[in-house]
Chains A and B, each alone.
Chain A
């Protein structure tokens, strides 16, 4: 809402300057976002009259004028050859600045010096595009500075009005706020209209009373539709509205001033001389003033003449019944429409107008008469004509002011401070207040649809009283509170672990590209689609964090960050048996050097290093997992695995398919894992039990096996653990080697076994014997052989 300062001051007489006004409004709930200067013009821009006009001696495109300002006569050159002797014009003199930033100075045009410039409305900021020098329609006093006279030095409050305050979508509403804040009286408009008695055949009927509880019409005849005077243009432009013609401008002016949208029809364009307000059935087609045709959905409030649709009630007028240059007689509509009905219709049709914006928030049903008179007064002033005395006002069920009880003790209970004379604050806001001892009985004016309850009144009192006067009081909270829960603490522990492992924490959008999910379905889950995505590549909720991390990785790769360790603890989303599920997961993606800052370590990330991270995590949490080779679309088939705990899958790991990486222009081997955080936490609750620190020395033996590719060496490890019995403390991998000296399609895997007896030192002989048996058993069982 843009509120020109001069307009505001017409309704309330304040000592405050505009900055103080802005401050007081802002701290009482009417937030002033900015103080604007809508016109960028200054200096000597004055009214003048062309007294002589002749052709430019050297140019066919220019004319030379002698212009009288009442004090002096200036020679001015212009390209608008329609300028004539006797025209009243606006002359910008040396030192003046025009709206486009142009500074006026004497300038020579082909041998003739122009001492100033004849201005168009565009140059004054009053019109978006002008092609002519502005001519006053009637004689004006000469030498008057138009910047001051028409408020082109105006300042405008740019106010953000919250949706609960439709009353403040008007100059009078903002003035009322200032009246309440300052204690100065609110000067409401008192329209002065003279009426003519004339019989006319006209009628108003409301069929859709629910959608339109009140409809009034007034008839004016003999108006002249033309350009609005400058003061009107200046006001409207300052308020952010385009000037069209005097009648339409008057309707906009009244709407801005009083907050009640109104409409003018051309009486002679109504086929039947009546208004019937109906509810749309659906399927009707209407051509509105925005020059677009709409097909109605049904339920819209229609203003008709019984047969033809004249306007979409409360939203926009129709093209056919509109006011044009040839309009002589008017029907002035001031109505009240149901907010929800207007909102539904505006939303369904995708129209938002100044009118619908106000009606859907709620305008005053009981100011109709005042608004109608103000409109008639203004049109008469601008367009002449006469007003018929008869006023058609159909209002079957009057909307009465609400009565609300306000307990005095409740004010302090909510606001936390004692307010002196709260009743006076409400009275200044035009509430009627009766003191009933412990309570006030309050009658709420109908321009305040937001005030219905006691709490709404307390809010009014608080914001006008001023919250800076509330002293803070120390709180006490329930002692049973525990702060972070187990889930949050676990998440933090995992996050710390990952950072400790060198992984950077990232934050990514939860929605990803459905095309990628479809093409590379890493997890077999039904994605959840957004019905209104913000972009086509952010149209489904991710079924794996993979799709998010690969984007981060690729984006970094493009920016030459090529040694990457990324992780995210976030949610994945999917549909399951008709339910919408969201599960928190830990995911990590990595490529490039294992330790980029460490020049002593030239290793690249590998399946084994990223798996090592997970294994340490599982060890820390005491989770026993089993990896099983698996083919996972999006991961490389022979380098990926699913991870199980107690036969339940808790995640997967693998090398990203290079074909997929190509799509993202990533040229490094990349590895990924994803773990279900909820399952991880579930199994992690079984932390490792206490084991006494060993007292006797261990004996270690290594053995290398030559294994065919694809042989899962974990089988040997399991066998060793079993066949070695209690003496085997640990079995692990010491080395994996393939290449030179090893036959093709074979791998050399060196395992180590740690033997220990809890109560004595083992001898070499007994260990050798047991170990040899273990190795032979493995050879027999798996048909493999040791490597010497």
Chain B
């Protein structure tokens, strides 16, 4: 039986095929127009007519079977080829990426922005002013006359007798009050300068000060503002306490401690009710207006927040230090 022989041969050959060329030769040999299976059909005319349908059917069955096997084989080879190609393209996906670096924020400026964001979200305006200030704006207008001992507390950098590098950002409050009518609620972030340089002091550092003036503000409102700030800055558990102190420009004045779990009470801010003399100096009527003010050193808060022991780290700007922020 020729059909069986062809079938046997085809299956045997097909099983040995391992590449595309052999596959194509096989197709021509068996399934092509002149192929062996087509050739079997040619025997049809030599058969008695009654056998022909059965024969034809068997040849067609054979063709279908071989075609099916061929297709399977073709797909198998295809898969192998793809596999090979993929192997060639294999890379080590665990190797570190070719990293592109984003720049880092400076921790002090990062914390300063955070502080600003809190007060902005509470409705305060952000105002700025010059770093080279007149002694009038920096001291006199803030109720610190020339021979007041409190001027010693700020050992200042002078440029001329009347000009200095501002020792706090409070002169911005003076400038703002001279420009705007109350009520006002502002914060003034920025650089300030004092002649001090050691592990806890820099001759240039950053402050955020705030001022809120309205008709009926009292210590109770100051307390709320500071408590709200502390909760947003340090977490809901942060508590605030006021320790009476002295600043020439506020009365009463306070050192403000914030309670942080794990640290205890830490002195973080200075604050107080605006001294009536300051209002008089800017033309506000202290009978009509009251207000509170507060100020904080940004470096100090950044040191607490990040556990930095030496303030000089901030101006060393070692990029490995910066890369944490």
Contact = CB atoms under 8 A, between A and B. Distances in A.
B274 to A, nearest CB: 10
Interface in B111-146: 113, 116, 120-128, 130-132
A596 B101 CA distance: 8
Nearest to B161: A531
Interface string A476-509: 1111011111011000100100111111111111
A27 interface: yes
Interface in B191-215: 191, 193, 195, 197, 202-204, 206, 212
Contact of A416 (B125, B160, B195, B219): B219
B100 A474 contact: no
B101 A505 contact: no
B105 A472 contact: no
A135 interface: no
A691 B197 CA distance: 55
Contacts of A499: 102-105
Interface string B272-299: 0101100000000000001000000000
Given A482-B125, A483-B125, A561 B320 contact: yes
B158 A507 contact: no
Contacts of B149: 163, 343, 360-361
B153 interface: yes
A472 B220 contact: yes
A458 interface: yes
B41 to A, nearest CB: 55
Given A470-B220, A474-B224, A505 B191 contact: no
A463 B242 CA distance: 10
Interface stretch (A45-53, A389-397, A431-439, A551-559): A551-559
A474 B225 CA distance: 8
Contacts of A463: 244, 252
B19 interface: no
A456 interface: yes
A498 B203 contact: no
Contact of A475 (B106, B121, B212): B212
Interface stretch (B2-10, B48-56, B309-317): B309-317
A421 interface: no
Contact of A530 (B147, B157, B246, B253): B157
A426 B108 CA distance: 44
B122 to A, nearest CB: 7
B246 A162 contact: yes
Contacts of B130: 582
A133 to B, nearest CB: 41
Given A415-B218, A462-B244, A482-B125, A533 B157 contact: yes
B106 A481 contact: no
A287 to B, nearest CB: 27
Contact of A531 (B160, B241, B315): B160
B245 interface: yes
A612 to B, nearest CB: 15
Nearest to A598: B98
Contact of A505 (B105, B131, B150, B206): B105
A467 interface: yes
A458 B252 contact: yes
A100 interface: no
A667 interface: no
A583 to B, nearest CB: 11
A478 B184 contact: yes
A6 interface: no
The residue in B183, B184, B212, B246 that gathers the most chain A C-beta atoms within 10 A of its C-beta is B246
Contacts of B203: 509, 511, 534, 538
A621 interface: no
B221 A163 contact: no
A536 interface: no
Contacts, number: 250
Interface in A498-541: 498-511, 528-535, 538, 541
The residue in B103, B185, B195, B212 that gathers the most chain A C-beta atoms within 10 A of its C-beta is B103
Contact of A414 (B113, B191, B273): B273
B80 interface: no
B276 A453 contact: yes
A509 B204 contact: yes
Interface stretch (A102-110, A147-155, A564-572): A564-572
Contacts of A571: 131, 191
B162 to A, nearest CB: 11
B255 interface: yes
B89 interface: no
A340 B147 contact: yes
A6 to B, nearest CB: 26
Contacts of B221: 416, 472-475
B132 A580 contact: yes
B148 interface: yes
B192 to A, nearest CB: 11
A580 B132 CA distance: 8
Nearest to A29: B244
A500 B101 CA distance: 8
B317 A506 contact: yes
B125 A481 contact: yes
B308 interface: no
Contacts of B241: 27, 467-468
A532 B157 contact: yes
A476 B221 CA distance: 9
A567 B275 CA distance: 41
B120 A462 contact: no
B103 A508 contact: no
Contacts of A360: 149
A26 interface: yes
Contact of B102 (A26, A467, A487, A502): A502
A660 to B, nearest CB: 19
A732 B201 CA distance: 51
B87 interface: no
A680 interface: no
Contacts of A455: 251, 273, 275-276
Contact of B319 (A165, A473, A498, A556): A556
B5 to A, nearest CB: 61
B315 to A, nearest CB: 6
Given A165-B246, A597-B101, A472 B147 contact: no
B233 interface: no
Contact of A582 (B99, B131, B290): B131
Contacts of A361: 149
The residue in B184, B251, B252, B253 that gathers the most chain A C-beta atoms within 10 A of its C-beta is B252
A162 B245 contact: yes
The residue in A472, A474, A552, A600 that gathers the most chain B C-beta atoms within 10 A of its C-beta is A472
A507 B314 contact: yes
A130 interface: no
Interface in A594-628: 595-601
Contacts of B103: 498-505, 565, 567
A385 to B, nearest CB: 37
Contacts of A597: 98-101
20 contacts: A415-B219, A416-B220, A459-B251, A467-B219, A467-B223, A470-B220, A472-B220, A475-B185, A475-B221, A483-B125, A492-B113, A505-B103, A510-B193, A511-B157, A530-B159, A532-B195, A535-B197, A556-B317, A566-B319, A580-B132
Given A344-B147, A455-B276, A570-B191, 20 more contacts: A29-B246, A163-B148, A163-B153, A343-B147, A343-B149, A414-B219, A414-B273, A415-B252, A459-B252, A462-B252, A467-B242, A470-B223, A475-B212, A477-B185, A499-B103, A504-B317, A505-B105, A506-B322, A530-B158, A559-B320
Closest 10 CB pairs of A and B: A416-B220, A416-B218, A162-B246, A29-B244, A597-B99, A483-B120, A477-B123, A499-B103, A472-B224, A463-B244
Interface of B: 98-106, 108-109, 113, 116, 120-128, 130-132, 147-150, 152-153, 157-160, 163, 165, 183-185, 191, 193, 195, 197, 202-204, 206, 212, 216-221, 223-225, 227, 241-246, 251-255, 273, 275-276, 290, 314-320, 322-323
